[in-house]
Structure 1
């Protein structure tokens, strides 16, 4: 990887696309978001955005055209099979104005998979059968793609222009994305992971503490401040959760500053405190 490519990656945001009508209709509950937040967080990274999209080729093409143009690093789960309701491979090719090609490594891996299942008495190793020709369709990727190995059943995903496309099945998708993060983006993994700390205040309007949040981010550029107000849902008292997140070497001092500012501005840290 060139220095310019590495610098471009370090300035890129990290996005997640989850594809599937079954998620939007409620037939299945999404499992990817929470797991991938955990996965990237363990590597000192953080998602900047998430989109959940239906299996609609035109919609997917439009969304991918935007994400390719953004320069963001994108992880995409779902829709790369070879049934009529799978459109992600075709949409990625259309978004890039590229043809689909049978990737030679994908062909090899799918052929090996068919041989392995045939050895167990399931199907045939003859790649000219209609079933195996259909399986080979899963190896057609936009021209210039690289494969993402699939340790579960060998059927690969694909990588092109900082986009990684994997199946929707968590048992396949998660190890494939971990491999992607640890090989393609190893230079992004932080030796000191991002941390988050917060505290609760009462009787403090957000408008009063906002200037302190803005000043904090100017004072510590590697830290982001946050304010999460509650209006007292579930019978609790209205309050604000104030906090900071970022480099673990900076968060402690930034949190102390924010706590001191909240106290100076009259915040109460316990109900009934004076």
Structure 2
């Protein structure tokens, strides 16, 4: 398998304010859109609090896995910003002022960097590289396919795009993936389960989904296929034929994705 097929992308969003409902996460739909434009997929999302032990444990787990991970939030200099320290602990390395980061701060704030707590903004795990921040020039950092950036969407979103276009260009293939779906009127899940089980076994190269719906007493199912564009195109007629053989009518669905 190629890198993009063997590995996926994950997102960790950090912040008590999100879990309390004071703010709503917008990183998930935006990263999903950035990846889709490049023929890539988001495999998972985690929304966690600012608790240090939880951040460290989460990063230990994701660092042990195969996926490329974006982390948003907690890299500032206030006491509740703990992501930099937790990343270093999870990696088993020390924090150190990044020399290029210091230079960026000196250009931003003047020489020397005062007050000294501003240097915390570029204290990153040893061995990290920088992610440029086009908004205020205070960088994020990357290490071992984990990419850390602020929680502010105005900063994080262009930094996400920069990472994708500088580190994973070889994985880009906008035409690689396809989603196609049909709506089956009058059908319930129980009507199609045996057929779907047979279909999934016969076509392992695509992912099958089944979304039930009921509106004003009328049952329907949305059956979707996702995967390689050619495989989806070749497989959808077989799914349509199976539905017709069960005596149900179907209509194609136009899929839209919000990039927010």
| TM-score, normalization by structure 1 | 0.85
Indicate yes or no: 2:34 matched with 1:16: no
Aligned equivalent of 1:63, options 58, 61, 80: 58
Structure 1 residue corresponding to 2:230, chosen from 224, 233, 249: 249
The one-character-per-residue Cα deviations of 1:74-130 (angstroms, maximum 9, x if unpaired) are 11111111101101111111111110111111111111111xxxxxxxxxx242532
Contact 2:88 2:94 in 1 (8 A): yes
Q: Which has the higher contact order (CA 8 A, sep 6+)?
A: 2
- Cα displacement (A) at 1:154: 1.1
Between the aligned partners of 1:216 and 1:159, the Cα distance in structure 2 is 42
Q: Highest Rg: 1 or 2?
A: 1
- Paired positions, count: 251
Q: 2:70 aligned with 1:75, yes or no?
A: yes
Change in Cα spacing, 1:221 to 1:16, as seen in structure 2 (3 Å) is same
The structure in which a higher percent of residues are strand is: 2
Answer whether contact 1:41 1:193 (CA < 8 A) is retained.
Answer: no
Aligned alpha-carbon RMSD (Å): 2.0
* Structure 2 stretches lacking a partner, 5+ long: 252-260
User: C-alpha displacement at 1:212, in angstroms?
Assistant: 4.0
Residue 9 of structure 1, CA deviation = 5.6
Paired position in structure 1 for 2:153 = 170
CA distance in 1, matches of 2:113, 2:62: 37
The residue number in structure 2 matching 1:33 is 28
Quick one: distance in 1 between partners of 2:103 and 2:5? 34
Instruction: Verify: 1:263 aligned to 2:248, yes or no.
Output: no
SS at match of 1:113: helix
